[in-house]
Amino acid sequence: MTRFLDKSIILLAGQSNMAGRGGVINNIWDQVIPPLSNPNPTILRLDPKLHWHEAKEPLHKGIDINHTCGIGPGLAFANSIANRVPSVGVVGLVPCAEGGTNISQWGKGGRLYGQLVKRATTSLRDGGSIQALVWYQGESDTVIKVDAQRWP
């Protein structure tokens, strides 16, 4: 992929809703893509092997490896930004979400934190700057009462 020195990088983290479960029924993705999640040549994805490619759904395929990925909010979010703020230039999405995790598993020193930092750091090597971290946490923190009570 051509180097884009002015990438606006957005990290995508959290659990299943961010990783994309839209259109997944019985562990099979229906491959239906809503218009706002269509590919856009100005939106890139950092793939599992740490290379930039044009972003397409499912964004977290190969990242959330223990689950079937479908549509998540990342590409729609990036398309919304690109449409509303054309001066943003090239958007680089860095998928890092993993379904079924709770927020305590993302703490400093943990595996998920390490992967997020590695992918974020690598995303900068060809230029650009991290503009946002979009976090979408789901229900895993409500299963155990103590975890749920930690939330304000």
* pLDDT (tens digit per residue) in 21-60: 999 999 999 999 999 999 999 999 999 999 999 999 999 9
Identity of the residue numbered 42? T
pLDDT band with cut points at 50, 70 and 90 for residue 104: confident
Strands (DSSP E) along the chain, which ranges? 8-14, 24-25, 28-29, 43-46, 52-54, 91-95, 129-136
- What number of other Cβ atoms are within 10 A of residue 28's Cβ? 10
